[in-house]
Amino acid sequence: MQGRRILLIVGGGIAAYKACELVRVLGRQGASVTCVLTDGGAQFVTAMTLAALSGNPVHTSLWDAGLEAGIGHIQLSRSADLVVVCPATADLLAKMAAGLADDLATTLLLATDTPVLAVPAMNVRMWQHPATQRNLGWLREQGVTVMEPDKGPMACGEFGPGRLPEPERIAQAIGTLLADPLAHQPDFAIADHRPLYGRHILVTAGPTHERIDPVRFIANRSSGKQGFAIAAAAAAAGARVTLIAGPVTLPTPPGVERDDVESAAQMQAAVLAALPADAAIMVAAVADWRPASASEAKLGKGALTGGGIPLAENPDILADLARHPQRPRLLVGFAAETGDPRDSGAAKRLRKGADWIVANDISGDVMGGAVNQVHLISAAGTESWDRLPKEEVARRLIARVAEALTETSEDHD
Phi-psi region at 381: left, alpha or beta (left = phi > 0; alpha = psi -120 to 50): left
pLDDT digits 0-9 by tens, 107-123: 999 988 889 999 999 99
Q: Can you give the pLDDT at residue 93?
A: 97
Q: Does 87 sit behind a cis peptide bond, omega within 30 degrees of 0 on the bond before it?
A: yes
CA gap 106, 14 in Å, rounded:
20
Determine whether 96 is exposed, middle or buried from the number of CB atoms within 10 Å of its CB (0-12, 13-18, 19+). buried
Q: What is the DSSP letter of 15?
A: T
pLDDT of residue 180: 61
The whole model's pTM is what? 0.61
Q: Does domain 5-184 have CATH number 3.40.50.970?
A: no
pLDDT, tens digit (0-9, with 9 covering 90-100), for 148-195? 898 888 777 788 889 999 999 999 889 888 876 444 333 333 444 578
269 confidence band (pLDDT: 50, 70, 90)? very high
Position 51: which residue type? Answer: A
Least-confidence region, from 171-180, 212-221, 341-350 = 171-180
Domains 5-184 and 200-412 share a fold: yes
Q: Quick: pLDDT tens for 41-82.
A: 999 999 999 999 999 999 998 887 555 544 556 678 778 999
Name the β-bridge partners of 200.
Answer: 240
Going by pLDDT thresholds of 50, 70 and 90, the confidence category of residue 207 is: very high
More confident: 198 or 307: 198
Whether residue 29 contacts residue 2, with contact meaning beta carbons closer than 8 Å, is answered with yes
Closest by CA position to 1, among listed 105, 76, 84, 77: 84
Any idea which residues carry the catalytic annotation?
156
Residues 6+ apart with CB under 8 A from 27: 33, 53, 54, 55
Q: Give alpha helix (H) positions in 31-181.
A: 47-54, 65-68, 72-78, 90-98, 104-111, 124-128, 130-141, 167-179
CATH topology of domain 200-412: Rossmann fold (3.40.50)
Q: CA nearest 82: which of 42, 130, 22?
A: 22
Query: To the nearest whole number, what is the mean pLDDT of the chain?
Result: 89
pLDDT at position 324, please? 97
Kind of pairing between the strands at 374-378 and 356-361: antiparallel
The pLDDT, as a whole number, for residue 66 is: 59
Q: Where are the domains of the chain?
A: 5-184, 200-412
* SS3 state of residue 365: coil
Cα–Cα distances (Å) from 385 to 181, 343, 376, 390, in that order, read: 22, 16, 8, 12
Q: Give pLDDT, residue 368.
A: 76
Lowest pLDDT segment from 164-173, 179-188, 300-309, 393-402: 179-188
